Copies of this chain bind each other. A is one copy, B any other.
């Protein structure tokens, strides 16, 4: 399960990062994506007879890794080995591939450290510390401010805190908005940007069963990849890494998931749910299906186009399937009905307390924000293509760089410069034909969204059809060359303003409207932030500390049991085995996508076929948790999360443990396959040491 944030919303103004749990009164047994500095110890003790020590928590936190590109991972050796999912790595595998070497499809194994290949643009983050800065952030806000003024002031304060921390510690410093504005925590990360590919199995094994098996269970996927982080040209020395426990994750075992869930929206009010159900999600689904069909058409042109589009296409199909499940959850009239009932109950409770009663207004503010969202949703002024995204950033940068860091749009602040440059100057290949069809389709979508008479549309099309216009721009832009991008960036504000590059000129045409839409979105988000902060206050008052914040693509701890479930009246077992993969292949007549790689068939006699391969547990996860280590009571690694079953797709809005399950690769299956299928006992031996 990829983080949906990454694949579906790139290029859009993201929905406000919101927070907190569904019911203010009572949470379900294994519900929750908990902050590392607010783990529900009492609850864990009473339901699972386990009380983590601070040392246990620190070790798990420091062993956890975030892939900035949208996934989770962990340190698994003292020499910098990082284990994540193949589908988290696939973006990099794809960028490292060429027409000759298709590492994504065919796999990769570095014979020695010298053979490990550096990724063009990965940034890995290790969370070092968390500090509550709520009071400091809130000093920026005066009662007399409008939403827009307050939003700007808050952003500036957050930027100042981040800059100060970066200067003082040298660590990446992000102020994270939690509980939708109820709390602000400063997260400090150690960054790794020299990240090298060590081992990836074939896509046929990592994504065995393809789109058909995606979100299903039982599963048989070796969805893993090993990287190694380097510092100063040498493998980084890692103090905190996970030991291996190949005998763990037995049915009924308590397990922990330490990862970076991307986004949940469990705090949403009934009005916000309606907006999601009737407006935002149907629109996102239309955009996803549009992209899916476009990429499929592109892939028809030949095997090379198929290779180029495969990673994107899988990501899109994955998101589309996930959104289908989410929207189905929202369209079930019983969910909004329950939400409404709980809301009425909470509102009734606070109405009786004169100190809490004024908080009722927050729900009206959310309702008002939704009607603004309806108005603005089609007024975005951006185009979703890689090259256009680069042009847009260069054009924005030209103005932003002339402001003080705190006044800039978030991604242009000093603290984010290194990440921004890594994105702008990535050496990953750019394909002209792909850029052309994507830009044409996006111009067409802009015309549909705004109507063909819209002045911005007329300016963007310059009197041509979307297809003609895209052809002419892509044929003449120089941004495909990284050297040209660097030259342009180095030419400074004036150089970019004077550029005759047609893609830069297009981005300049759109800049004013982009900023206008961006400001409107910021203002709506601030309005929601203030309202959700009040709603959180109400929930804390009524529900005590059983309140965890919504996911924010930052490190969280979830927990649950390894546990089978019932589906369509049949018992689904908690674990599968390596041998089961061959049976699953036979059951599907060895037809694509149920074809195990040759390496598997060659090793069939050698491997222990009863080795655990995949398993499910009740931990509360969501997109972004991909690659998260699954850890035992003893703090050892028993598995790695790679998916959720189809019943878990409502997790964005609510958790249920009856049939909803997280799906993981068992670490025993990883080690056994490394030894017997991929002939690398040395890597298996290095893991955990």
Contact = CB atoms under 8 A, between A and B. Distances in A.
Interface of A: 210-212, 274, 277-278, 282, 285-286, 289-290, 292-293, 297, 300-303, 320, 327-334, 336, 444, 447-448, 451-453, 458, 461, 463-468, 588, 591
Contacts of A278: 447-448, 451-452
A461 B335 CA distance: 13
Q: Which of A285, A329, A465, A588 has the most CB of B within 10 A?
A: A465
B463 A300 contact: no
Nearest to A301: B212
Contacts of A320: 293
**Copies of this protein, total:** 2
Given A300-B211, A452-B278, A332 B292 contact: no
A198 to B, nearest CB: 33
A461 B333 contact: yes
A282 B336 CA distance: 30
Contacts of A290: 285-286, 289
A466 B328 CA distance: 7
A673 to B, nearest CB: 26
Contact of A458 (B212, B277, B333, B451): B333
15 contacts: A211-B297, A211-B300, A278-B448, A286-B286, A289-B290, A289-B292, A293-B320, A328-B444, A329-B465, A330-B452, A331-B447, A332-B465, A332-B468, A333-B458, A333-B464
Contacts of A452: 274, 277-278, 330-331, 333, 336
Given A212-B301, A278-B452, A336-B452, A327 B289 contact: no
A487 to B, nearest CB: 32
A447 B464 CA distance: 37
Contact of A328 (B292, B334, B453, B465): B465
A463 B320 CA distance: 25
A475 B13 CA distance: 43
A219 to B, nearest CB: 15
A212 B331 CA distance: 36
Contact of A461 (B211, B274, B331, B465): B331
A279 to B, nearest CB: 9
Contacts of A451: 274, 278
Nearest to A446: B331
Nearest to A327: B444
A311 B622 CA distance: 37
Contacts of A464: 332-333
